Amino acid sequence: MSYCPKCGVEVNSNAKKCPLCKFSLPYIDTNSSESFSDSFPNAINIYNKKVKEFKKILFSIIKAFCICSMFITLFCNFYISGKLTWSKYSTVCIVAAMFYFYLMLDLQWKFKNFIIGFGLNTFILILLLDIFDGKLSWSIKLGLPFIVMTICLLSICYEVFRIAKHKYFNVAGYTLIALSLYCIGIDGFVSLTLYNLFKLRWSLLVTIVLLPLGLVLIYIHHKLPVEYKIKLKKKLHI
């Protein structure tokens, strides 16, 4: 049975006008077997698309700013000195900064590839800065080992955190252990560069403090009952 869309009175299916309000009734083919599609559109999440577009626009602005800054410094240096001197350092830093932003904004890399890209860019940066001094002095002996240690420790920590089912005190514990190992590496390579001897001094004190604390946190994470973990988290506000 049909109804008038204006006054709601019941009308015949073949009526052309409402007998009460004289409203013209639309024609509806009741014998048609055509199925009507859902009038509600499919929900589409456009957040990721918007974020990608925003990152592209932001990187384009940063790239334009970096290129302009690079040419300005080169022009000023050449105009004042007649040759390129200090602008070589600023140009290399600007290009490296632009690549850092490129890694952060424009690419969706995995974490390992991401930190490898950061490490490679950093090594090229310090290598060029060292070459501009006229000789290779610190980029190979100090810069490269520090970068390799950073990449290795970050990769190991990432895998450990990814495998861990529950992330509480173990995250802080593994982080402290990684920091103690990093300090040992820094101390050892610095002494090796300066004195040609791999000798540990201040890093031993740092390790004595950080390593036991990290092991205690890992022990607490695995052995402490759940109710005590919750209480400690509330007390420490973590």
Terminal alpha carbon distance of the chain: 65
Q: What is the pLDDT of residue 24?
A: 80
For residue 95, the model assigns a pLDDT of 93
Full pLDDT tens readout for the chain, 238 residues: 677 877 878 887 777 788 888 888 777 665 555 554 555 556 566 777 788 888 888 889 999 999 999 999 999 999 988 888 899 999 999 999 999 988 888 666 778 788 888 999 999 999 999 998 878 888 888 999 999 999 999 999 988 888 887 777 788 899 999 999 999 999 999 998 888 888 889 999 999 999 999 999 888 888 877 777 677 667 766 6
User: Residues 51-57: contacts with CB within 8 Å, 24+ apart?
Assistant: 55/105, 55/106, 56/105, 56/106
222's tokens? 């695995």
Which residues are within 8 A (CB) of 202 and not within 5 positions of it... i.e. 6 or more apart? 183, 187
